[in-house]
Copies of this chain bind each other. A is one copy, B any other.
Amino acid sequence: MSREYTELSPAGFTFCGGEVVEIHLTFLGTGGSVPSLSRSLPSVALKRGREILLFDCGEGTQYQLVRTGLSPLKINAVFITHLHGDHFLGLAGIVQTMSLLDRSEPLEVYVPKGEGERIKTFLRIPRYTPAFTIEVKELEPGEEVRREGYRILTSRAEHGVKCISFGFLEDPRPGRLDPSKAVELGVKPGPDFSALKSGRPVELPNGRVVKPGEVVGPPRPGRKIVYAVDTRPCEDVVRLSKGADLLIHDSSLADELVERAKESGHSTPSEAAMVAKRAGVKLLVLTHISSRYRDASILLEQARKIFPNTMLAEDLMRLEVPLRGSETG
Protein backbone atom coordinates (compact mmCIF):
# COMPACT_ATOMS: atom_id res chain seq x y z
CA MET A 1 0.00 0.00 0.00
CA SER A 2 3.02 2.27 0.13
CA ARG A 3 4.24 4.04 -2.95
CA GLU A 4 7.18 2.88 -4.94
CA TYR A 5 10.29 4.96 -4.64
CA THR A 6 9.88 7.51 -7.40
CA GLU A 7 12.12 10.05 -9.00
CA LEU A 8 10.56 13.25 -10.15
CA SER A 9 12.16 15.86 -12.27
CA PRO A 10 9.80 18.78 -12.72
CA ALA A 11 10.59 21.05 -15.61
CA GLY A 12 13.77 23.00 -15.12
CA PHE A 13 14.70 21.07 -12.04
CA THR A 14 16.80 18.21 -13.28
CA PHE A 15 20.35 17.83 -12.16
CA CYS A 16 22.80 19.43 -14.56
CA GLY A 17 25.97 17.46 -13.85
CA GLY A 18 29.53 18.72 -13.63
CA GLU A 19 32.41 18.57 -11.18
CA VAL A 20 30.14 19.27 -8.26
CA VAL A 21 28.40 17.68 -5.33
CA GLU A 22 24.95 16.35 -6.10
CA ILE A 23 22.05 17.20 -3.84
CA HIS A 24 19.04 14.88 -3.64
CA LEU A 25 16.03 15.47 -1.48
CA THR A 26 13.92 12.50 -0.49
CA PHE A 27 10.55 13.12 1.09
CA LEU A 28 10.33 10.33 3.66
CA GLY A 29 7.15 11.49 5.31
CA THR A 30 4.73 14.09 3.97
CA GLY A 31 1.74 13.59 6.27
CA GLY A 32 0.19 15.78 8.91
CA SER A 33 0.08 14.92 12.58
CA VAL A 34 -1.67 11.57 12.00
CA PRO A 35 -0.29 9.08 9.47
CA SER A 36 -2.43 7.75 6.64
CA LEU A 37 -2.09 4.85 4.23
CA SER A 38 -0.07 6.97 1.83
CA ARG A 39 1.59 9.59 4.00
CA SER A 40 4.08 8.91 6.78
CA LEU A 41 4.93 11.37 9.52
CA PRO A 42 7.26 14.23 8.63
CA SER A 43 10.84 13.75 7.55
CA VAL A 44 12.97 14.91 4.64
CA ALA A 45 16.42 13.52 3.83
CA LEU A 46 18.88 15.85 2.14
CA LYS A 47 21.73 13.90 0.58
CA ARG A 48 24.72 15.98 -0.44
CA GLY A 49 27.51 13.85 -1.80
CA ARG A 50 27.89 11.00 0.67
CA GLU A 51 26.38 12.86 3.60
CA ILE A 52 22.73 12.75 4.65
CA LEU A 53 20.97 15.38 6.74
CA LEU A 54 17.52 14.68 8.12
CA PHE A 55 14.99 17.41 8.67
CA ASP A 56 12.51 16.12 11.24
CA CYS A 57 12.28 12.48 12.12
CA GLY A 58 8.68 11.40 12.66
CA GLU A 59 7.74 7.89 13.71
CA GLY A 60 8.39 5.50 10.86
CA THR A 61 11.31 7.43 9.35
CA GLN A 62 13.57 4.38 9.62
CA TYR A 63 11.01 2.33 7.66
CA GLN A 64 11.05 4.90 4.89
CA LEU A 65 14.84 4.83 4.82
CA VAL A 66 14.66 1.05 4.25
CA ARG A 67 12.29 1.66 1.34
CA THR A 68 14.57 4.22 -0.29
CA GLY A 69 17.84 2.43 0.33
CA LEU A 70 19.30 5.47 2.12
CA SER A 71 21.56 4.15 4.88
CA PRO A 72 20.96 5.36 8.44
CA LEU A 73 24.73 5.15 8.86
CA LYS A 74 25.21 8.02 6.40
CA ILE A 75 23.08 10.41 8.45
CA ASN A 76 25.42 12.93 10.01
CA ALA A 77 22.93 15.32 11.53
CA VAL A 78 19.25 15.52 12.34
CA PHE A 79 17.45 18.86 12.56
CA ILE A 80 14.25 18.77 14.61
CA THR A 81 11.82 21.64 14.11
CA HIS A 82 9.93 21.11 17.38
CA LEU A 83 8.87 18.51 19.89
CA HIS A 84 5.39 17.57 18.84
CA GLY A 85 5.46 13.79 18.60
CA ASP A 86 5.03 13.54 14.84
CA HIS A 87 8.30 15.42 14.24
CA PHE A 88 10.79 13.56 16.40
CA LEU A 89 9.47 10.25 17.77
CA GLY A 90 11.28 8.27 15.07
CA LEU A 91 14.65 9.40 16.37
CA ALA A 92 15.09 6.86 19.18
CA GLY A 93 14.30 4.00 16.80
CA ILE A 94 16.82 5.17 14.22
CA VAL A 95 19.43 5.54 16.95
CA GLN A 96 18.80 1.96 18.12
CA THR A 97 19.04 0.70 14.53
CA MET A 98 22.26 2.66 13.93
CA SER A 99 23.62 1.05 17.05
CA LEU A 100 22.61 -2.45 15.96
CA LEU A 101 24.31 -1.73 12.62
CA ASP A 102 27.53 -0.96 14.56
CA ARG A 103 27.71 2.75 13.90
CA SER A 104 30.71 4.37 15.53
CA GLU A 105 30.59 7.92 14.10
CA PRO A 106 28.94 10.56 16.27
CA LEU A 107 25.47 11.82 15.38
CA GLU A 108 24.52 15.47 15.75
CA VAL A 109 20.97 16.31 16.74
CA TYR A 110 19.77 19.92 16.61
CA VAL A 111 16.69 21.07 18.50
CA PRO A 112 15.20 24.44 19.41
CA LYS A 113 16.75 26.26 22.36
CA GLY A 114 15.46 24.83 25.62
CA GLU A 115 14.59 21.38 24.24
CA GLY A 116 18.01 19.77 24.57
CA GLU A 117 17.46 18.06 27.92
CA ARG A 118 14.09 16.77 26.81
CA ILE A 119 15.50 15.11 23.70
CA LYS A 120 18.44 13.69 25.67
CA THR A 121 16.03 12.16 28.17
CA PHE A 122 14.02 10.71 25.29
CA LEU A 123 17.09 9.06 23.78
CA ARG A 124 18.01 7.55 27.14
CA ILE A 125 14.63 5.82 27.67
CA PRO A 126 15.25 2.57 25.74
CA ARG A 127 17.27 -0.04 27.65
CA TYR A 128 20.38 -0.10 25.54
CA THR A 129 23.46 2.03 25.22
CA PRO A 130 24.37 3.24 21.73
CA ALA A 131 27.96 2.48 20.78
CA PHE A 132 28.38 6.00 19.39
CA THR A 133 28.10 9.54 20.70
CA ILE A 134 24.98 11.62 20.23
CA GLU A 135 25.69 15.34 20.34
CA VAL A 136 22.49 17.20 21.11
CA LYS A 137 22.77 20.90 20.28
CA GLU A 138 20.28 23.68 20.87
CA LEU A 139 19.62 26.42 18.35
CA GLU A 140 18.20 29.87 18.97
CA PRO A 141 16.18 31.11 15.98
CA GLY A 142 18.58 33.11 13.82
CA GLU A 143 21.61 31.07 14.82
CA GLU A 144 23.65 29.37 12.11
CA VAL A 145 25.43 26.04 11.98
CA ARG A 146 28.59 26.06 9.90
CA ARG A 147 29.43 22.72 8.31
CA GLU A 148 31.85 21.76 5.59
CA GLY A 149 30.56 23.16 2.34
CA TYR A 150 27.36 24.70 3.65
CA ARG A 151 25.58 26.44 6.49
CA ILE A 152 22.31 25.67 8.21
CA LEU A 153 20.33 28.84 8.80
CA THR A 154 17.42 29.02 11.20
CA SER A 155 14.43 31.20 11.81
CA ARG A 156 11.55 31.30 14.21
CA ALA A 157 8.46 29.47 13.02
CA GLU A 158 4.99 30.34 14.25
CA HIS A 159 3.49 27.20 15.71
CA GLY A 160 2.52 27.78 19.33
CA VAL A 161 5.49 25.85 20.76
CA LYS A 162 9.20 26.51 20.30
CA CYS A 163 9.64 25.77 16.63
CA ILE A 164 12.36 26.45 14.08
CA SER A 165 12.45 26.57 10.30
CA PHE A 166 15.70 25.51 8.69
CA GLY A 167 17.58 26.76 5.64
CA PHE A 168 20.33 24.77 3.96
CA LEU A 169 22.68 27.20 2.21
CA GLU A 170 25.56 25.86 0.21
CA ASP A 171 28.81 27.83 0.07
CA PRO A 172 29.32 29.76 -3.16
CA ARG A 173 31.22 27.93 -5.87
CA PRO A 174 34.19 29.62 -7.53
CA GLY A 175 33.33 31.54 -10.68
CA ARG A 176 33.72 30.01 -14.10
CA LEU A 177 37.19 30.23 -15.70
CA ASP A 178 37.25 31.53 -19.26
CA PRO A 179 39.77 29.14 -20.88
CA SER A 180 40.27 31.04 -24.14
CA LYS A 181 40.98 34.24 -22.25
CA ALA A 182 43.41 32.43 -19.94
CA VAL A 183 45.28 30.85 -22.86
CA GLU A 184 45.36 34.22 -24.59
CA LEU A 185 47.15 35.64 -21.54
CA GLY A 186 49.66 32.76 -21.70
CA VAL A 187 48.28 30.44 -18.98
CA LYS A 188 48.58 26.75 -19.80
CA PRO A 189 45.68 24.39 -19.04
CA GLY A 190 46.40 22.17 -16.01
CA PRO A 191 47.53 23.10 -12.47
CA ASP A 192 47.58 26.81 -13.28
CA PHE A 193 43.93 26.70 -14.34
CA SER A 194 43.09 24.99 -11.04
CA ALA A 195 45.06 27.58 -9.09
CA LEU A 196 43.20 30.43 -10.75
CA LYS A 197 39.83 28.74 -10.17
CA SER A 198 40.74 28.37 -6.50
CA GLY A 199 41.44 32.11 -6.27
CA ARG A 200 45.24 32.00 -6.41
CA PRO A 201 47.29 34.18 -8.83
CA VAL A 202 49.65 32.50 -11.29
CA GLU A 203 53.09 33.75 -12.34
CA LEU A 204 53.93 33.05 -15.98
CA PRO A 205 57.49 32.19 -17.19
CA ASN A 206 57.76 35.74 -18.59
CA GLY A 207 57.18 37.17 -15.11
CA ARG A 208 53.62 38.38 -15.79
CA VAL A 209 51.25 37.63 -12.91
CA VAL A 210 47.72 36.64 -13.90
CA LYS A 211 45.15 37.38 -11.22
CA PRO A 212 42.02 35.23 -10.84
CA GLY A 213 39.80 38.22 -11.47
CA GLU A 214 41.22 38.53 -15.00
CA VAL A 215 39.99 35.14 -16.16
CA VAL A 216 37.52 33.86 -13.57
CA GLY A 217 33.94 35.12 -13.32
CA PRO A 218 32.21 36.06 -10.08
CA PRO A 219 31.53 33.31 -7.48
CA ARG A 220 28.36 31.37 -8.23
CA PRO A 221 25.91 31.16 -5.35
CA GLY A 222 25.30 27.81 -3.68
CA ARG A 223 21.97 26.08 -3.57
CA LYS A 224 19.44 27.07 -0.95
CA ILE A 225 16.71 24.83 0.38
CA VAL A 226 14.28 25.83 3.11
CA TYR A 227 12.28 23.48 5.35
CA ALA A 228 9.43 25.39 6.99
CA VAL A 229 7.10 22.77 8.39
CA ASP A 230 4.60 23.31 11.15
CA THR A 231 4.26 27.01 10.87
CA ARG A 232 1.81 29.74 10.06
CA PRO A 233 2.96 31.94 7.19
CA CYS A 234 5.30 34.51 8.75
CA GLU A 235 7.85 37.20 8.02
CA ASP A 236 10.69 35.20 9.54
CA VAL A 237 10.13 32.36 7.09
CA VAL A 238 9.84 34.79 4.17
CA ARG A 239 13.22 36.27 5.15
CA LEU A 240 14.79 32.82 5.59
CA SER A 241 13.48 31.75 2.19
CA LYS A 242 14.68 34.76 0.15
CA GLY A 243 15.84 33.52 -3.22
CA ALA A 244 15.74 29.83 -2.26
CA ASP A 245 15.87 27.19 -4.97
CA LEU A 246 13.33 25.18 -3.07
CA LEU A 247 10.92 26.00 -0.29
CA ILE A 248 9.30 23.05 1.47
CA HIS A 249 6.38 24.62 3.30
CA ASP A 250 3.60 23.50 5.60
CA SER A 251 0.30 23.19 3.75
CA SER A 252 -1.75 21.10 6.15
CA LEU A 253 -5.23 22.33 5.34
CA ALA A 254 -7.03 23.70 2.29
CA ASP A 255 -7.86 27.40 2.04
CA GLU A 256 -11.42 26.96 3.28
CA LEU A 257 -10.07 25.63 6.61
CA VAL A 258 -7.92 28.68 7.24
CA GLU A 259 -9.46 29.25 10.68
CA ARG A 260 -8.53 25.73 11.73
CA ALA A 261 -5.04 26.28 10.29
CA LYS A 262 -4.73 29.40 12.43
CA GLU A 263 -5.81 27.55 15.57
CA SER A 264 -3.40 24.68 15.02
CA GLY A 265 -0.43 26.72 13.83
CA HIS A 266 -0.42 25.44 10.25
CA SER A 267 -0.74 26.98 6.78
CA THR A 268 -3.07 26.74 3.82
CA PRO A 269 -1.86 26.35 0.21
CA SER A 270 -2.54 30.01 -0.59
CA GLU A 271 -0.62 31.09 2.47
CA ALA A 272 2.33 28.88 1.57
CA ALA A 273 2.20 30.21 -2.00
CA MET A 274 2.27 33.81 -0.78
CA VAL A 275 5.39 33.06 1.25
CA ALA A 276 7.00 31.50 -1.83
CA LYS A 277 6.04 34.46 -4.01
CA ARG A 278 7.25 37.08 -1.57
CA ALA A 279 10.52 35.24 -1.00
CA GLY A 280 11.06 34.79 -4.74
CA VAL A 281 11.86 31.09 -4.52
CA LYS A 282 12.21 28.93 -7.63
CA LEU A 283 10.03 26.01 -6.56
CA LEU A 284 7.53 25.52 -3.75
CA VAL A 285 6.80 22.04 -2.41
CA LEU A 286 3.70 21.65 -0.25
CA THR A 287 3.95 19.14 2.58
CA HIS A 288 2.57 18.14 6.03
CA ILE A 289 -0.68 17.23 4.30
CA SER A 290 -3.56 16.41 6.64
CA SER A 291 -4.76 12.80 6.56
CA ARG A 292 -8.23 14.10 5.63
CA TYR A 293 -7.03 14.56 2.03
CA ARG A 294 -6.95 11.22 0.25
CA ASP A 295 -6.62 13.20 -2.93
CA ALA A 296 -4.70 16.36 -2.11
CA SER A 297 -4.79 17.86 -5.61
CA ILE A 298 -7.08 20.63 -4.36
CA LEU A 299 -4.15 21.91 -2.27
CA LEU A 300 -1.95 22.06 -5.34
CA GLU A 301 -4.61 23.91 -7.35
CA GLN A 302 -5.09 26.50 -4.65
CA ALA A 303 -1.36 27.18 -4.33
CA ARG A 304 -0.73 27.35 -8.09
CA LYS A 305 -3.22 30.17 -8.51
CA ILE A 306 -0.77 32.32 -6.57
CA PHE A 307 2.53 30.57 -7.25
CA PRO A 308 2.47 28.40 -10.38
CA ASN A 309 5.78 26.61 -9.81
CA THR A 310 4.42 24.50 -6.97
CA MET A 311 4.55 20.75 -6.38
CA LEU A 312 2.78 18.52 -3.93
CA ALA A 313 5.13 16.34 -1.86
CA GLU A 314 4.47 12.61 -1.93
CA ASP A 315 6.05 9.97 0.27
CA LEU A 316 9.28 8.63 -1.25
CA MET A 317 9.37 11.36 -3.89
CA ARG A 318 12.90 12.36 -4.80
CA LEU A 319 14.10 15.66 -6.20
CA GLU A 320 17.52 16.44 -7.52
CA VAL A 321 18.43 20.06 -6.90
CA PRO A 322 20.40 21.59 -9.79
CA LEU A 323 23.38 23.82 -9.40
CA ARG A 324 22.93 27.54 -9.38
CA GLY A 325 24.41 29.34 -12.32
CA SER A 326 25.04 26.04 -14.04
CA GLU A 327 23.23 27.34 -17.10
CA THR A 328 26.20 29.64 -17.64
CA GLY A 329 28.72 26.82 -17.33
A interface residues with partner B (beta carbon < 8 Å): 1-2, 4, 33-37, 40-41, 59-60, 62-63, 66-67, 82-86, 88-90, 92-93, 95-97, 100-101, 118-119, 121-122, 125-128, 161
Once A60-B60, A60-B63 are accepted as A-B contacts, the answer to whether A34 and B92 lie under 8 Å apart by CB is no
Once A59-B60, A59-B62, A97-B34 are accepted as A-B contacts, the answer to whether A126 and B89 lie under 8 Å apart by CB is yes
Listed A/B pairs (14) with beta-carbon separation below 8 Å? A1-B4, A2-B2, A33-B97, A33-B100, A34-B101, A35-B97, A37-B67, A59-B59, A63-B63, A84-B96, A85-B92, A85-B93, A85-B128, A86-B96
- The residue among A63, A67, A85 with the most chain B CB atoms within 10 A of its own CB is A85
Q: Which 4 A-B pairs have the closest CB atoms?
A: A85-B126, A85-B96, A59-B93, A83-B127
| Main DSSP-derived SS at the A contact region | loop
Q: Are A121 and B125 touching (Cβ within 8 A)? A: yes
CB distance from A189 to the nearest CB of B (A): 49
Residues on B with C-beta less than 8 A from A83 are 125-127
Partner of A92, one of B89, B95, B119: B89
Residues on B with C-beta less than 8 A from A100 are 33-34
Residues on B with C-beta less than 8 A from A126 are 83-85, 88-89
